Chains A and B, each alone.
Chain A
Amino acid sequence: MSTISDLKQSISSSTAVQVVKDAIAKADSVAEYNALLSLTAERALDRAAKVDAGDITGPLAGVPFIVKDNFLAFGAPTTAASKMLESFNAPLQATAVERLEAAGAICIGKANLDAFAHGGSTENSAFGPTKNAADQTRVAGGSSGGSAVVTALDVVPFALGTDTGGSIRQPASFNGVVGVKPTYGTVSRYGVVAMASSTDTIGVFTTDAADAELVMSVMSGKDERDMTTLDDFFTPQLQPTSGQKIGLIKEFMTDDVDAEVRQSVNQYADRLRTAGHTVEEVSLSMLQYAIAMYYIIVPAEISSNLARYDGIRYGYRSSDVQTLAELYGKSRDEGFVAENKRRIMIGSYVLSSGFFDAYYQQAQKARTLLIDEFNKMFEQYDVLIGPVSPTPAFKLGENTSDPVKMYLADVMTVSPSLAGLPAISVPAGKTAAGLPVGVQLIGARKSDGQLLALAKSLEGAN
């Protein structure tokens, strides 16, 4: 797989236009994976020509990239993989996209996802699932399945995703690439279709940790258009701190977890020890409630953020409507997929009067206890590690009939999301059947630089 510097070298030795053309051709050649919903070829070539003419410059000048199709961008519709936004042409771009373009990078297309980012396999896309880069009978993971696959297939050196409860980390793990979920508030959410306002993050898929650092540092930083962004803090580090104390999360290493997954994690732990760090087992008692918390809080916030999709001002409007009530009801019924509707219903239920205290508020209180527990843990440990998912990529169709089983597979990734902590997935080997497995590194708030430095230091001997 190519890195950003590989691409920059190609641009120097040929042209940005050629490099972009090659990326587009590569994208077409892997169409069967259904990783892309659209190509923004015309705009991309136009910008590439400007790079060649010296009108567009920057640290990423001419480097092609792809964004998950829930980022508002020019050149193609922003569909969120949903019928609801199938023809929505955004009149503005997400901050993350703007910053990458300001650095000279060139967006060549929009990647497939679970519709509105609701899912963990990309099977909830209204436009068909994306296939795993290593095995086309298996899922790409989700919700940022398309972005993970185009990176793994070397279409582009990096692709943007969003991670609300694991949607970057899990597909990264399933496809053998690096996936970064930063500290909540690191990258502006402006211009990204909102899912859960208190856990949504913007991150990236890359082939190595150094590229992730570069892309994150371009995108990160305070944005006056998003009040939850943090003052600039992200600083890449050359070397990781030596002799770190690392905790291996016991609750994520039970017998319910695939043996090969545990083995990969244990091997990674050994490599950490060899590098001079200590790794010991730790326990977080609030983790047992994490799934319950997450699937109360997040659907509630989803039901709120999806209220604006009513077919009135933009997006899908059902054609056979006589009354306003029909306009709302039918547009939303036809525009959303089943999983969207399920989460909206759960969310509305837990927010309804009479249930708000028992469910939503109680879950947010449990969240406080989880955060406190993480904070205490990080007083003693520098990094926590564990698997990303209990299994490697499962077969297409395997989990679609049991949504709750799908929810339970998120158990490892949702807890850092609830706490707003940075967490990354790095490739940690393959199963005997050749399926990628990732290991998750979780850090304290704003320790993103340290996490990536640690990951960087262990790369190579994979």
Chain B
Amino acid sequence: MLYTKSMTQISRDDVQHLAQLSSLQLGDDEIDALQVIPTYQVSDRQNVWRNDVVIDYGVTREQLLDLSVESDQHQVKVPKVL
């Protein structure tokens, strides 16, 4: 995503606006005092994995390439990457 300076300004303003509206201390004092661990996932799972066996997803290369605007030699085509 190409950012312009004004776009960054908008997002910073939005966040600060939100912060003011909801007094974004986010309970800083509580958080620091209790040494809180962040929650990145609310699923209580761990060690979820699969066996090392090839899976047939039922979707062919041609089906995938058909989704693109332009392809050539079985590959998606894009303007030259410099």
Contact = CB atoms under 8 A, between A and B. Distances in A.
A touching B, CB within 8 angstroms: yes
Interface of A: 88-89, 91-92, 184-185, 198-199, 224, 227-230, 286, 288-289, 291-293, 295-296, 311-315, 317, 321-329, 332, 342, 344-346, 348-350, 359, 361-369, 371, 403-404, 407-408, 418-420
Contact of A365 (B14, B19, B38, B49): B38
A314 B69 CA distance: 7
8 contacts: A91-B64, A227-B49, A292-B26, A313-B76, A324-B81, A365-B26, A368-B39, A404-B14
A296 B15 contact: yes
A289 B27 contact: yes
A315 B70 CA distance: 11
Contacts of A332: 1
A324 B76 CA distance: 13
B18 A295 contact: yes
Contacts of A363: 26
Contacts of B63: 91
B76 A420 contact: no
Nearest to B40: A364
A328 B1 contact: yes
A361 B36 CA distance: 10
Contacts of A295: 15, 18
Contacts of B44: 230
B24 A91 contact: no
A291 B22 contact: yes
B37 A366 contact: no
A156 B73 CA distance: 45
B54 interface: no
B52 to A, nearest CB: 14
A365 B10 contact: no
A288 B22 CA distance: 7
Contacts of A368: 36-39
Given A230-B43, A324-B79, A345-B3, A365 B37 contact: yes
* Those 3 A-B pairs whose CB atoms lie nearest each other, nearest first: A420-B42, A364-B38, A314-B67
A312 B76 contact: yes
B67 A408 contact: no
> Would you call the interface of chain B mostly helix, strand, loop, or mixed?
loop
A108 B32 CA distance: 52
Nearest to B70: A317
Interface in B7-58: 7-8, 10-12, 14-15, 17-19, 21-24, 26-28, 30-31, 34, 36-45, 48-50, 57-58
A226 to B, nearest CB: 9
Nearest to A359: B15
B69 A317 contact: yes
Nearest to A184: B42
A contact patch SS: helix
A328 B1 CA distance: 7
B17 to A, nearest CB: 6
A349 B19 contact: no
B78 A292 contact: no
Contacts of A311: 69
A230 B46 CA distance: 11
Contact of B1 (A313, A344, A359): A344
Contacts of B76: 312-313
A329 B22 contact: no
Contacts of B57: 92
Nearest to B62: A91
A166 to B, nearest CB: 16
A375 B19 CA distance: 26
A227 B45 contact: yes
B15 A350 contact: yes
Given A91-B67, A92-B58, A366-B27, 19 more contacts: A92-B57, A184-B43, A185-B43, A198-B41, A288-B23, A291-B18, A291-B22, A292-B18, A292-B22, A295-B15, A345-B7, A346-B11, A348-B11, A363-B26, A364-B39, A365-B39, A366-B36, A369-B36, A420-B43
A229 B48 CA distance: 10
A88 B69 CA distance: 11
Contacts of B11: 342, 345-346, 348-349
Given A89-B67, A227-B48, A289 B24 contact: yes
Given A311-B69, A365-B31, A324 B1 contact: no
Contacts of B3: 345, 348
Contact of B15 (A314, A317, A349, A420): A349
Contacts of B24: 289, 292
A187 to B, nearest CB: 12
A369 B2 contact: no
